[in-house]
Structure 1
Amino acid sequence: MGIITQTPKARQLQPLTLGQELVIPLPCSCDDVDGMKVVHYGHVVPMGSTVQQIANDYGTNESVLLSLNGLADANDLKAGAVLDVPLKACTSMISNNSLDYPLLVPNGTYTFTANNCVRCKCDASNNMTLQCEPSPKEVKITKWIQCPSMQCESPVTLSLGNTSSSSGCVQACAYAGYYNQTILTTPMTVSGCQTSGAGQPSGNDASKISLRGWCWTLLFVSLQLGSLLW
Structure 2
Amino acid sequence: MATAPSARHRRSFSGTVGEALDGPRSRMELSRSEYERVCHSSISNTSADHGLLIPNGSYALTANNCIQCKCSANTYQLDCTPVQGNRSCPAVPPCTGGLKLGEMNRTGCGSMCAYSGYTNGASLSIQTTLVSNQTACQKGGARRLEFSGSAWTMSVICFHMVLILIWSL
Place the TM-score, normalised by the shorter chain, in its bin: 0.5 to 0.7
Relative contact order higher in (CA < 8 Å, ≥ 6 apart): 1
Superposed structure 1 runs of 4+ greater than 2 Å apart: 25-29, 85-88
Provide the C-alpha distance between the structure 1 equivalents of 2:52 and 2:63, rounded to a whole number of angstroms: 11
Say whether residues 1:148 and 2:148 are aligned partners.
no
The structure-2 alpha-carbon separation of the partners of 1:102 and 1:171, relative to structure 1 and needing over 3 Å to count, comes to: same
Q: How many residues align?
A: 114
Is the helix fraction higher in 1 or 2? 2
Q: What stretches of structure 2 of length at least 5 have no aligned partner?
A: 3-20, 138-169
Q: CA deviation at 1:87?
A: 5.9
Aligned pair in 2 of structure 1 residues 28, 176: CA closer, same or farther (>3 Å)?
Answer: farther
Contact 2:111/2:130 (CA < 8 Å) preserved in 1?
yes
TM-score norm. by structure 2 comes to 0.57
Identity of aligned pairs, percent?
Answer: 36
- Of 159, 164, 177 in structure 1, the residue corresponding to residue 100 of structure 2 is 159
2:74 is paired with a residue whose SS is helix
Q: Helix, strand or coil for the counterpart of 1:27?
A: coil
* Greater Cα radius of gyration, structure 1 or 2: 2
Q: Give the equivalent residue in structure 2 for 1:135.
A: 83
Q: Which runs of 5+ in 1 are unaligned?
A: 5-20, 30-38, 42-59, 61-84, 193-230
Map Cα deviations across residues 190-219 of structure 1 (whole Å, 9 max, x no partner): 256xxxxxxxxxxxxxxxxxxxxxxxxxxx
Contact 1:151/1:158 (8 A) holds in 2: no
Whole-angstrom distance in 2 between the partners of 1:94 and 1:148: 18
TM-score, reference length from structure 1: 0.43
Confirm or deny that 1:187 pairs with 2:127.
no
CA distance in 2 between counterparts of 1:25 and 1:100 reads 20
Q: Deviations over 1:57-110 (max 9, x none)?
A: xxx5xxxxxxxxxxxxxxxxxxxxxxxx75621110001111111100001111
User: What CA distance in whole angstroms lies between the structure 2 residues aligned with 1:153 and 1:110?
Assistant: 22
Corresponding letter in the other structure for 1:158: L
Higher strand share: 1
